[in-house]
Chains A and B, each alone.
Chain A
Amino acid sequence: MKDFVTLFTAMDQTTKTTVKTAALTAYFQTASDTDKLWCIALFSGRRPKRSVTTTLLREWAAEVAGIPLWLFEECYPIVGDLAETIALVLPPAKSHEDQTLTHWIDVTKSLRSMEEGEKKETVLAVWDRLSTTERFLFNKLITGGFRVGVSTKLMTRALARATDQDEAALTHKLMGQWTPETTSFEALILTDDPMADLSRPYPFYLAYQMENLDELGAITHWNIEYKWDGIRGQMILREGQFHLWSRGEDLMTDRFPELHRLADFMPQGTVIDGEVLAWKDDAPLPFNALQKRLGRKTVPKKLLAEAPVILHAYDLLELDGIDIREKDLKFRREALETIVASCPADAPIKLSENLAPASWDHAASLRDVSRENHAEGLMLKRLDSPYLAGRKKGDWWKWKVDPLTIDAVMIYAQAGHGRRANLFTDYTFAVWNGNDLVPFTKAYSGLTDAEFRKITAWVKKNTIQRFGPVRQVSPEHVFEIAFEGIQESPRHKSGVALRFPRMSRWRHDKPLQEANTLDDLKQMLAQYG
C-alpha cells in the first residue's frame, strides 16, 4: 500500500487542488489496474460494505491500547474521526508488511464472512503490521466512509489526464451501478461504451448562483422556469427498463413506484432530467411531504395516497436512444414537450413551464413570489446551450429568492467533526417565549473560521452545564439565522422545522432581549408554511 499511502499523504499535506490532481495523476500512471480501479471506486463514493461494526472496533482498539472504553469514547469526539482515533491510540506496530491496496481491501471484504473471534484476530494482526497512516486508511476501508478531501470531480480530472481522455466523457463512464467486483479498469475506463449499460445515467448539469443580471443579454434568449424544491432526478427508459437516479447517484426507482407508469407512455430510449415533487390536487405539497418518502425503500399505501409524487420535467437528454446533450436547449425542450404532451393527462409527469417573462423586471417580480408558488426562485437557462456535465458557469444560473431570516439566541454548542474537530461549530438556537428561551433550530455553517475560533474560546469560558459533548452556554450571543422554508413539526418543542438553516450574521449589535419570539416564528409559519 506504500504508493497509496504516498498518494494519500501528498494529497493530505496540501490544500492546493493542482497539487492533489498532480499526485493522483501520477498514481493513475503507475499503479496496477486493480489498485487504480479501487482508487477510482473509493474516490467516487463506491466503498466496500462495512464488514465490522464500529462498536467492535472501538472495543478492540481500547483493549489493545490498554485504556478503558470510556476514555476511548472521550477521545473520539476530540479527534473527530473514528478511523483516526483508533490509529492514534494503538501502540506502535511490531512489524511491517507492505501489500497492495487491493490486498487490504480483500482483507476487509474477507471479514464479512468471518465469526466475531476470527474477525478480531484478523483486524488486530493487521493493526500490528501497519504504520499510523496505513492504519488510518485501513480503518477507513473497514468503517466504510472514505471522505478524505478528494472529490469525484478532482479524481476524474486526474484520471482523464492520466488516460488522455475527455473529462466529461469519463465522468459519464464513471456514473451508475458498477463496482470493482463487476468490472475491470480495462472495461470501465479504456474500452467502455457508456451506452452498453442500460441503467447508466448522464452526469447532471448543475447551475451556479446568479452573479450579474446585466451580463445575460436579451431575455428572449433564455428559458426561465421556477426552481422547484424537490429532489433532482434523472428518469431513464431503455429497452423496457425503467430507472430513476438522484443527483448523488442513488438509484431511487423503488422509492417512487407511482412513476413506473411513465414507462407505458414514452418511447424507449428516453432520458429526462427533472425534479421529483410531492404533488396533489394540481399543486405541490410542502417539502416535508416528500421528506417522508425518502429513506424508505418501500412505500406504504397510506403514504402513497398522502404524498404522491410526479416528475417535473426540465430537459431531455436522450431521444430515441440517441444522446442529444450536444443539441441546444430549444431543440431538447421541444422534443421534451412532444413526449410529455403524448402522455395522458393523469400521467405523473408535468412539463416545468417556461415562464417566458417579457422583461428582466418581469422576471424579478416572478422571482419575488416564488415562495408563494412553493419554489425556491428561478432557473435561467440559455436557449442555445448544450447540456453540460457538472457545475459549469455561463449558460445556466439559479436565481434564488432571498432567504427568510430570524434573530435567535445561541444556547447550546457542540464541537464539530473532521476538519472542525476541537472547534465549537454546531449550535442550537432559541427564540423568546415570554421569559423562556425555546430551542427551535440547529445551525453549523455560515461563520468564518476566525468567528468559530472566537466562539470556541468563549464557549470554553461560558459553559453552564455539560451534557456529554454538548455544552449549555450562557444566553448572550444573538445570531441572524437564514433559512429557505418553514414547516410545522410536532416533533420539535417549538412546533416548527426550518429548511437549510445557517448563520448569516453574528449580531454583535443586538441585545439578547431583542432576539425574535416564538410568535414571530409562528407568523412566518402561517405565511410561508
Chain B
Amino acid sequence: MADVLTFTDRGIYCPAGDFYIDPWRPVERALITHGHADHARWGHQRYLATKAAAPVMRHRLGDITLDTIDYGDTMQIGGAKVSYHPAGHVPGSAQIRVEVKGQIWVASGDYKTTDDGFSEPFEPVRCHAFITESTFGLPVFKWTPQDAVADQINTWWAANAADGRASVLGAYALGKAQRLLTAIDQTIGPILTHGAVENTNEVLRAQGLELPQTIRVNADLNPKDHPGALIVCPPSGFGGWSKRFGPQSTAFASGWMAMRGVRRRRAADRGFVLSDHADWQGLNDAIRATGAERVFVTHGYTSQFTRWLRDQGYDAHVVSTEYEGETLDAASEDGAAQ
C-alpha cells in the first residue's frame, strides 16, 4: 500500500490529496500546523490552517489565500480525509490527521503535552504512522510544572522590583511571551512589552484570547514612569534595546535553560526552564498514545531519538526537513523577533 504521506525536498507531501504539510518551498496547496516562521512560510498559492492560527498567519504573511478549519472538523481533499487536532504548542497549533483508504497518518508539527492554560491542550490522535519532532528528545530534558516556573519568575521579578531593578525577560514573540504573561502574577508591577511582542498580543487579543494589560515600549515611553516593571522582549532585545531601562536583571525562558552550559553562555542573569515543546517523557507518552507502529522524526535530536524508538520496537526513521524547533542562537532569534 502506498504511503499516505511522503517526504520530499519541498516538504511533507500527500499524493492522494496533492497537498503539502508545512512545506519549505513554494507550493500550490499548503496545510499549515502553526504560525511559526519555520512551519508557515511565504509564497504558497493556498493555505489551510485552524481558525485560531489564521490571524497570526495573516499578520505575519500578509495578504495570503487562507482557508480555515475548526479543530475536529473533517475536510475531503482529493482522495484524502483531513482534520486538525490541538497540538498544545501555541494558540491555534494543530496536528494534521490525514486518512487515505483507512490508513491514518498524523503530522504533528511542534507540540507539547502539558496544558499551559493558554493554548488548546494537546489531544492524542490514534494513527498508523506518526510524524514527530524531537527538539528535546533526550532524557536530560524534564520540565518542571509551569506553576513552579511561574513562581520562580515571580520571585525574581519581585526581588528586582524591591531592589529598584527592571526585570527584562526574553521570550519568543509568538507563544512563549503570551504564555508567560498569563502565567505570572500580574500584581507585582507594570508589564511593558517590546513592539514585536505587543504586535502579537494585539492579534491574539483581537481573536478573543485574554492577556493581562501591557504597555508597549516606544520612543516616547519614559522607563522612569514604570518602576519595578517586567519587560517582555524577544531575546535579541537584551543589551542594546533594553539599555533604556537602566539597572536591570535579564532572564531568558527556554527549554534550553535546563543545561547549565547553555544558560551560562546566554549571559543572561537567569534562565527559566520553560518550553513550548514536549520534554523526553512528553514525546514518549505522545507517541505511545497514538498507537502508531511507524514513527518519522523530523527535527531535533533525530538520530538519537530514532535509535531509542527502534530500541522500543517502533519502526522509526529520521526524515530530513528544514524545521528548527526551539532555537537558541542569534540568527533564528532575529527571525522570531520579526
Name the distance in Å between B332's Cβ and chain A's nearest Cβ. Answer: 8
Chain A 59-83 per-residue mask, 1 if CB under 8 angstroms from chain B, else 0: 0000001011011101100111100
In the complex, whether A420 has a CB less than 8 A from a CB of chain B is yes
Q: Report chain B residues within 8 Å CB of A72.
A: 139
B138 touches A78 (CB 8 A): yes
B261 touches A80 (CB 8 A): yes
**Docked pose: A88 CA to B139 CA in angstroms:** 8
Name the distance in Å between B261's Cβ and chain A's nearest Cβ. Answer: 4
Q: Report chain A residues within 8 Å CB of B262.
A: 421-422
Q: What is the chain B residue whose CB lies nearest that of A450?
A: B330
Within 8 A of A (CB), among B285-338: 301, 304, 307-308, 311, 328-331
If the complex has contacts A71-B308, A149-B264, are A80 and B259 also in contact, measured as CB distance less than 8 A?
yes
B331 touches A419 (CB 8 A): no
Q: Report chain B residues within 8 Å CB of A15.
A: 264, 267, 269
A81 touches B261 (CB 8 A): yes
Q: What is the chain B residue whose CB lies nearest that of A456?
A: B329
In the complex, whether A454 has a CB less than 8 A from a CB of chain B is yes
If the complex has contacts A75-B139, A88-B140, A88-B142, are A419 and B330 also in contact, measured as CB distance less than 8 A?
no
In the complex, whether B265 has a CB less than 8 A from a CB of chain A is yes
If the complex has contacts A417-B261, A418-B261, A420-B261, are A85 and B140 also in contact, measured as CB distance less than 8 A?
yes
Within 8 A of B (CB), among A29-88: 65, 67-68, 70-72, 74-75, 78-81, 84-85, 88
If the complex has contacts A15-B269, A449-B265, A454-B331, are A81 and B260 also in contact, measured as CB distance less than 8 A?
yes
Chain A 414-439 per-residue mask, 1 if CB under 8 angstroms from chain B, else 0: 00011111110000000000000000
A75 touches B140 (CB 8 A): yes
Chain B 113-140 per-residue mask, 1 if CB under 8 angstroms from chain A, else 0: 0000000000000000000000000111
In the complex, whether A12 has a CB less than 8 A from a CB of chain B is yes
Q: What is the chain A residue whose CB lies nearest that of B267?
A: A15
B270 touches A13 (CB 8 A): yes
Name the distance in Å between A44's Cβ and chain B's nearest Cβ. Answer: 21
How many interface residues does A have (CB within 8 Å)? 35
In the complex, whether B258 has a CB less than 8 A from a CB of chain A is yes
**Docked pose: A67 CA to B142 CA in angstroms:** 14
Q: Report chain A residues within 8 Å CB of B267.
A: 15
Q: Report chain A residues within 8 Å CB of B261.
A: 79-81, 417-422
**Docked pose: A67 CA to B260 CA in angstroms:** 22
In the complex, whether A14 has a CB less than 8 A from a CB of chain B is yes
Residue in A65, A79, A454 whose beta carbon sits within 8 Å of that of B259 in the complex: A79
In the complex, whether A89 has a CB less than 8 A from a CB of chain B is yes
A14 touches B259 (CB 8 A): no
Name the distance in Å between B166's Cβ and chain A's nearest Cβ. Answer: 16
Q: What is the chain B residue whose CB lies nearest that of A86?
A: B140
Name the distance in Å between B133's Cβ and chain A's nearest Cβ. Answer: 16
A68 touches B264 (CB 8 A): no
Name the distance in Å between B76's Cβ and chain A's nearest Cβ. Answer: 38
Q: Report chain B residues within 8 Å CB of A75.
A: 138-140
Chain A interface helix/strand/loop/mixed: helix
Q: Report chain A residues within 8 Å CB of B330.
A: 450, 453-454
A71 touches B304 (CB 8 A): yes
Name the distance in Å between B310's Cβ and chain A's nearest Cβ. Answer: 11
Chain B 66-78 per-residue mask, 1 if CB under 8 angstroms from chain A, else 0: 0000000000000
Q: Report chain A residues within 8 Å CB of B311.
A: 68
B259 touches A421 (CB 8 A): yes
A419 touches B265 (CB 8 A): yes
B265 touches A71 (CB 8 A): no
Within 8 A of B (CB), among A296-320: none
Q: What is the chain A residue whose CB lies nearest that of B330?
A: A453
A65 touches B265 (CB 8 A): no
Name the distance in Å between A515's Cβ and chain B's nearest Cβ. Answer: 26
**Docked pose: A453 CA to B301 CA in angstroms:** 18
B260 touches A84 (CB 8 A): yes
In the complex, whether A190 has a CB less than 8 A from a CB of chain B is no
How many interface residues does B have (CB within 8 Å)? 25
If the complex has contacts A68-B311, A79-B261, A456-B329, are A13 and B139 also in contact, measured as CB distance less than 8 A?
no
In the complex, whether A457 has a CB less than 8 A from a CB of chain B is yes
**Docked pose: A93 CA to B206 CA in angstroms:** 45
Residue in B140, B265, B328 whose beta carbon sits within 8 Å of that of A420 in the complex: B265
Name the distance in Å between A90's Cβ and chain B's nearest Cβ. Answer: 10
Within 8 A of B (CB), among A445-472: 449-450, 453-454, 456-457
Q: Report chain A residues within 8 Å CB of B138.
A: 71, 74-75, 78
Name the distance in Å between A57's Cβ and chain B's nearest Cβ. Answer: 15
**Docked pose: A505 CA to B328 CA in angstroms:** 25
**Docked pose: A421 CA to B261 CA in angstroms:** 6
Chain A 1-28 per-residue mask, 1 if CB under 8 angstroms from chain B, else 0: 0000000000011110000000000000
Q: Which of B138, B304, B307 has the most CB of A within 10 A?
A: B138
If the complex has contacts A74-B304, A421-B262, A454-B331, are A79 and B269 also in contact, measured as CB distance less than 8 A?
no
Name the distance in Å between B296's Cβ and chain A's nearest Cβ. Answer: 20
Name the distance in Å between B165's Cβ and chain A's nearest Cβ. Answer: 12
B139 touches A89 (CB 8 A): yes
A88 touches B265 (CB 8 A): no
**Docked pose: A500 CA to B111 CA in angstroms:** 46
Name the distance in Å between A402's Cβ and chain B's nearest Cβ. Answer: 31
**Docked pose: A516 CA to B172 CA in angstroms:** 44
Q: Report chain A residues within 8 Å CB of B141.
A: 88
Name the distance in Å between B251's Cβ and chain A's nearest Cβ. Answer: 10
Q: What is the chain B residue whose CB lies nearest that of A449?
A: B265
Q: Report chain A residues within 8 Å CB of B331.
A: 453-454, 457
Chain A 132-160 per-residue mask, 1 if CB under 8 angstroms from chain B, else 0: 00001000000000000100000000000
A422 touches B304 (CB 8 A): no
Q: Report chain A residues within 8 Å CB of B140.
A: 75, 78-79, 85, 88-89
Q: Report chain A residues within 8 Å CB of B265.
A: 419-420, 423, 449
B139 touches A457 (CB 8 A): no
Q: Report chain B residues within 8 Å CB of A453.
A: 329-331
Residue in B269, B328, B329 whose beta carbon sits within 8 Å of that of A13 in the complex: B269
Name the distance in Å between B136's Cβ and chain A's nearest Cβ. Answer: 11
Within 8 A of B (CB), among A81-125: 81, 84-85, 88-89
**Docked pose: A374 CA to B55 CA in angstroms:** 70
Q: Report chain A residues within 8 Å CB of B142.
A: 88
Q: What is the chain B residue whose CB lies nearest that of A71?
A: B308
Q: Report chain A residues within 8 Å CB of B139.
A: 65, 67, 71-72, 75, 88-89
Q: Report chain A residues within 8 Å CB of B260.
A: 12, 79, 81, 84, 136
**Docked pose: A216 CA to B151 CA in angstroms:** 56
Name the distance in Å between A142's Cβ and chain B's nearest Cβ. Answer: 17
Name the distance in Å between A274's Cβ and chain B's nearest Cβ. Answer: 38
Name the distance in Å between B224's Cβ and chain A's nearest Cβ. Answer: 24
**Docked pose: A85 CA to B138 CA in angstroms:** 11
If the complex has contacts A68-B311, A78-B138, are A422 and B259 also in contact, measured as CB distance less than 8 A?
yes
Q: Report chain B residues within 8 Å CB of A88.
A: 139-142, 258-259
Q: What is the chain B residue whose CB lies nearest that of A85?
A: B140
Name the distance in Å between A447's Cβ and chain B's nearest Cβ. Answer: 14
- CB-defined A-B contacts under 8 Å, sample of 22: A13-B269, A15-B264, A15-B269, A67-B139, A67-B308, A70-B307, A71-B304, A74-B138, A75-B138, A78-B301, A80-B259, A81-B260, A84-B260, A88-B141, A88-B258, A88-B259, A421-B261, A422-B256, A422-B259, A423-B265, A454-B330, A457-B329
Closest 7 CB pairs of A and B: A421-B261, A88-B140, A453-B329, A80-B261, A74-B304, A419-B264, A89-B139
The residues of A with any CB-CB pair to B shorter than 8 Å are 12-15, 65, 67-68, 70-72, 74-75, 78-81, 84-85, 88-89, 136, 149, 417-423, 449-450, 453-454, 456-457
